[in-house]
Amino acid sequence: MQEPFQKKISILFWVIAAAEIISIITVNPVLHFIAKPLLLTVLFILLYTTNSAVPGKYILLAGLFFSWIGDVLLMFDSWNDLFFILGLVSFLTTHIFYIVYFLRIISSNTSLLKKKPVLVAIVLAYGITLVWQLFPKLGDMKLPVIAYAFVICGMMICSLHVYNKINKKSAILFVVGAAAFVISDSILAFNKFYQPFTNAGVLIMLTYCLAQYLIVCGYIEQES
């Protein structure tokens, strides 16, 4: 459960998220360059100040740090494709840290995936379908995008794996957060490689902020 200070940090996070979304809608580069780097900075503070005996906090903090690097790099992807590739690597690293965090959760409870293995097939089918749809237009980015899709689907599967191993509230937060991350990155990939569409940036940022926030809250709520 969040303490009063953490609740204030959470409010600040969503105020900054709103500012970032406004910067996208109004095409305001000054507001964008101020708000976007602050998003993960504030979320990092929220998690860091959490007083909890639950192990793995520093693994999640490392994930947030690489997300922050990715956010900054993607601010310059219109300048050079290298910034996009480096941003992709940064977020791939984030997902690897999240996978490690989920897999370190130990419980005698049976994994949800053992009870419903079809969930693995559904996640993989989604990832394969997305890559198959994008593949003809990926050019030199085929291998990086395939690797990224594989890792983020792995992160989603790992969040489902721990569903029965922690309290229900945390489990839901982790799964919904992981799903929001998949949705955010799917929209980004579709918009960049397949067909740009109106308000894609808003949807990407909204689902991204929701994803990161819910994953952090999932950790905070584990002792509730």
> Which tens digits make up the pLDDT trace of 185-220?
999 999 999 988 989 999 999 999 999 999 999 999
| Confidence band, pLDDT 50/70/90 cuts, at residue 224 | low
Average pLDDT, the chain: 94
- Closest Cα to residue 103, out of 46, 154, 41, 32? 154
Rounded-to-integer distance, Cα 206 and Cα 18, Å: 9
- pTM of structure: 0.94
| Confidence band, pLDDT 50/70/90 cuts, at residue 80 | confident
Query: For a pLDDT cut of 90, what percent of the chain falls above it?
Result: 85
Least confident piece of the model among 9-13, 88-92, 138-142, 173-177? 138-142
Is it the case that residue 87 has pLDDT exceeding 80?
Answer: yes
Rounded-to-integer distance, Cα 208 and Cα 192, Å: 16
Residue 26: predicted pLDDT: 96
Residue 8: predicted pLDDT: 93
